Structure 1
Amino acid sequence: MKRIQAALLVTPLLILSQISSADWVKDSVIKTEPQTIQLRHQIHQHPELGNMEFNTSKLVQKELKSYGIEVKTGYAKTGVVGILKGALPGPVMALRADMDALPVEEKTGLSFASKVKALYQGKQESVMHACGHDTHTAMLLSAAKVLAENKDKLAGTVVFVFQPAEEGAADIDNFTQGDQIGSRKMIADGAFKQNKPEVIFGIHVISGMPTGNLFYKSGAILNSADEFRIKLTGQQVHASMPWAGTDPIVTSAQVITNLQTLISRQSDLTKGMGVVSVGQISGGTVSNVIPEEVSMAGTIRTNNEAIRQNILKKLPEMVKFTALANNVKANVDISSYAPVTTNDKTLTELTAPALETAVGKSQLHLLDNNASPSEDFAYYGKLMPSLFVFLGATPADQDMAKAAPNHSSEFVVDDATLKTGVETHVRFILNYPSIAKQVQASWKAQ
């Protein structure tokens, strides 16, 4: 691991004091491990789609109340917020987990594999925790238990955020109503109104990274995500005489090709990267008729806000002018899912020693590049300094390159990694009060 010198130089005494006073953490985490695994198996076996996490929400509420934690609901349909006030004065800090599963048929062969089916966008689909949100919920519940049992050592207040629909909702149009789900809806519904945190932390399990290892970086950690829909309308005509109509098929080919120049020729790639991908296209019914309409849908991903905004501005123009050159009409709609997930630089650097305490120097890794997926955790980071880290989910003796990836029907999380996630959550909270002033001063100066 590349040592973060700034963190050690700025607050060595504060951090070392906090770490030494937290020697009880590992014992507490190990003590809760059987419960963490049991909770994870229970949630995994009974997955629920986005906005449908009713039983998972009830389980979270029941567990938090049993730990003596104040529970609040009424956020984003099934969201839950837990409030724990420590015995010592200090800042308000938030920890976040997502609860929803995916419309994927499980093929892991696990003894606790899901056999659940549910309605997704009006169709009956198999449901699976194919991205590890079952582990996120279980790890945060156990972290809440550890912190509640040791609140006499806790400085400040912890806000436990259990969020629905990070992967999208099962019951509404995610393209047109994306602001009505997930983190955006949690925020809009006032999840932070009464206990406003000044910092937030999150963990995501990742396949193909070894169990018990943490991966982090400052700045961009995950890409932004914006979706687009395009409808091209021409004039239907027999395919033997295309000059008598206007062809949306040929136009669609030109649109797809021209969209790539938004990255290769119209984005400043010294600032970061970007991808424009068309993932769906449909038009026509038979081989000898040029259709009236072609529809397309795709995604825009970047790790830089300036590149993102440039693409969002130019994409509609690119499509409309390409269509105009072919005497075809174009309609373009764009829906934003999430901005770039960005780790606050000062927070990241000053939290690194606590991460090293959790896993050891050899199992803490400073990433060179961000990951390509996206996360609506990014919206929390617009409100306050945030830190999002990856937790390895694949046993170290396995070939990482052959591990089924997140969102696969064969995606598996090693239970042995859960205790690392629990401890990391606890270390986040114990470490932050000692660095709060520096983090907030840096945040306000931005």
Structure 2
Amino acid sequence: MKKLLTILLFIPALASANPVDDAAKKIESKVVEWRHHLHQYPELSNREFKTAAYIEKHLRSLGLQVQTGVAITGVVAILDSGKPGPVVALRADMDGLPVPEQVDLPWKSTQRSEFNGKEVPVMHACGHDTHVAMLMGAAEILVGMKDKLKGKVKFIFQPAEEGAPAGERGGAEVMVEEGVLKNPDVDAIFGLHISSATDVGKVRYREGGVMAAVDPFKIVIKGKQAHGAYPWLSIDPITTAAQVIMSVQTIVSRELSLIDDAAVITFGSIHGGVRSNIIPNEVELVGTIRTLNEEARNHIYEALPRKVKGIADSMRAQAEVTLPLDYNYPITFNDHDLMAKMLPTLINTAGQENVLYSKPVTGAEDFSFFQKEVPGVYLWIGGKPLNVDPQDAPAHHTPEFYVDDEGMKLGVRLLTNMTLDYMNK
């Protein structure tokens, strides 16, 4: 009887072995090696040629169908299970930033490049090196588990998430235009972003708007020039601009229901005039709008020109509003049904205590262009060492930015498990 009990206790232990966890452990050192290489040799948006070649070499070694040059430097690979089923896309962004690295690492970046006509230092100051390494790892695991797949997996390595250089286009929007979600048609897409402020081993999620739409705008106020000593002879665009700046803030504070979702209107630039005693002909204002639901976004699109025109008319000035200015991103929106279906996967992969419901953020992500076309889920995973106080965690896009290699373990497992569970459940 005692022997039988021992056997019965042993059987569940064997059954609980997780092939994804085992595979992730086996390639962990390779994922770290890839990340260190990518971190040491970052490239700017639309210039990720060596990065793309590095990724392509790995994908071809796995026997995948590989397409290069998508949206200039993007790399796309397809894993065909040979069985009918859905098409799941997994996305990682590849580009670095014009930021000088100040973290003393053996694999610190000392790279320099050209950005908008100037020589600049280059650093992976937002963790895209980890994103690429994690997706390379997930691709290797999924190829090794091909017999458990149903349908196809499309691996998307995207350039220029941080924005194309002046005068160029790039990123997810261009990839969509070039058909990255077609042939075969994608049914669902998953992406994740490492977070320097979230503990290693944790994953943050929410349904609906997770990151804001971004809509830059420009306002040109035209008046009548006059001597500063005789303002009654002018139509003053500066005082008009001052009233516009203050009044536009009431769109958010008095016209939107902020108990639903936050919205932000920020003026980042104001130019007008050349000296203290001359009232100029015109003033230019440039700013950005951030919204987390389409109702708020549509309302601001209507309200901003209305406010500006009304104030300009009251001051006898003229105003021109350009909205959006030169680019805009949709809301990064997690499909409610897909998020609900994937939540058990998050819990099973990370553990209930490590799955955190997250507040939205007013930063933007061009993963939203994929989600505009197909249902998608975008997650945040922890990269902060456990011994670092959250208040001391370095911010993204700064020279001090740092995330721990340990954070990638969970990312590799999540990308793999979400693919397997979506296909099989």
Name the TM-score, length of structure 2 as normaliser: 0.92
- 1:139 maps to which residue? 134
Is this contact kept in 2: 1:52–1:170, CA < 8 A?
Answer: no
Q: 2 CA distance for matches of 1:337 and 1:240?
A: 42
The answer on 1:425 being equivalent to 2:418 is no
- The aligned runs of 1:42-441 (5 Å cut-off) are 42-172=37-167, 180-335=169-324, 336-367=327-358, 369-435=359-425
For the residue of structure 2 that corresponds to 1:90, the secondary structure is: coil
Is this contact kept in 1: 2:149–2:424, CA < 8 A?
Answer: no
Q: 2 CA distance for matches of 1:295 and 1:43?
A: 41
CA shift, 1:380, in A, is 1.2
Amino acid at match of 1:371: V
Q: Which whole-Å deviations, capped at 9, do the CAs of 1:263-309 have from their partners, x for residues lacking one?
A: 11222334422110111112223222222222221111111110101
Q: 2 CA distance for matches of 1:434 and 1:149?
A: 16
Amino acid at match of 2:56: Q
CA shift, 1:213, in A, is 0.7
Task: Quickly say closer, same or farther: Cα 1:118–1:325, change in 2 above 3 A.
Answer: farther
Amino acid at match of 1:56: T
Q: 2 CA distance for matches of 1:136 and 1:208?
A: 16
Q: Which whole-Å deviations, capped at 9, do the CAs of 1:178-228 have from their partners, x for residues lacking one?
A: xx4211110101112211110000000112110121011111111111111
RMSD of aligned Cα (Å): 1.7
Amino acid at match of 2:369: Y
CA shift, 1:87, in A, is 4.7
Q: Which whole-Å deviations, capped at 9, do the CAs of 1:24-50 have from their partners, x for residues lacking one?
A: 111111111111111111111211111
Amino acid at match of 1:120: F
Residue segments in structure 1 that go unaligned for 5+ positions in a row: 1-19, 174-179, 436-446
Is this contact kept in 1: 2:149–2:423, CA < 8 A?
Answer: no
Is this contact kept in 2: 1:219–1:345, CA < 8 A?
Answer: yes
Is this contact kept in 2: 1:104–1:125, CA < 8 A?
Answer: yes
- 1:176 maps to which residue? none
Is this contact kept in 2: 1:108–1:409, CA < 8 A?
Answer: yes
State percent identity of aligned pairs: 41
- 1:443 maps to which residue? none
Task: Quickly say closer, same or farther: Cα 1:117–1:310, change in 2 above 3 A.
Answer: same
Task: Quickly say closer, same or farther: Cα 1:22–1:434, change in 2 above 3 A.
Answer: farther
For the residue of structure 2 that corresponds to 1:106, the secondary structure is: coil
Q: Which whole-Å deviations, capped at 9, do the CAs of 1:374-407 have from their partners, x for residues lacking one?
A: 1111121122211111001111121012211111
CA shift, 1:329, in A, is 2.2
Q: 2 CA distance for matches of 1:320 and 1:183?
A: 34
Is this contact kept in 1: 2:150–2:424, CA < 8 A?
Answer: no
Q: Which whole-Å deviations, capped at 9, do the CAs of 1:357-387 have from their partners, x for residues lacking one?
A: 22112211122x2122111111211222111
Q: 2 CA distance for matches of 1:317 and 1:163?
A: 38
CA shift, 1:22, in A, is 7.9
Q: 1 CA distance for matches of 2:52 and 2:166?
A: 17
For the residue of structure 2 that corresponds to 1:337, the secondary structure is: coil
Name the TM-score, length of structure 1 as normaliser: 0.88
Task: Quickly say closer, same or farther: Cα 1:373–1:363, change in 2 above 3 A.
Answer: same
Q: 2 CA distance for matches of 1:361 and 1:434?
A: 22
Q: 2 CA distance for matches of 1:317 and 1:117?
A: 45
The answer on 1:40 being equivalent to 2:17 is no
Is this contact kept in 2: 1:87–1:153, CA < 8 A?
Answer: no
Q: 1 CA distance for matches of 2:241 and 2:123?
A: 35
Task: Quickly say closer, same or farther: Cα 1:264–1:171, change in 2 above 3 A.
Answer: closer
Does 59-68 or 263-272 show the bigger shift? 263-272
Task: Quickly say closer, same or farther: Cα 1:253–1:49, change in 2 above 3 A.
Answer: same
- Count matched residues: 409
Is this contact kept in 2: 1:201–1:388, CA < 8 A?
Answer: yes
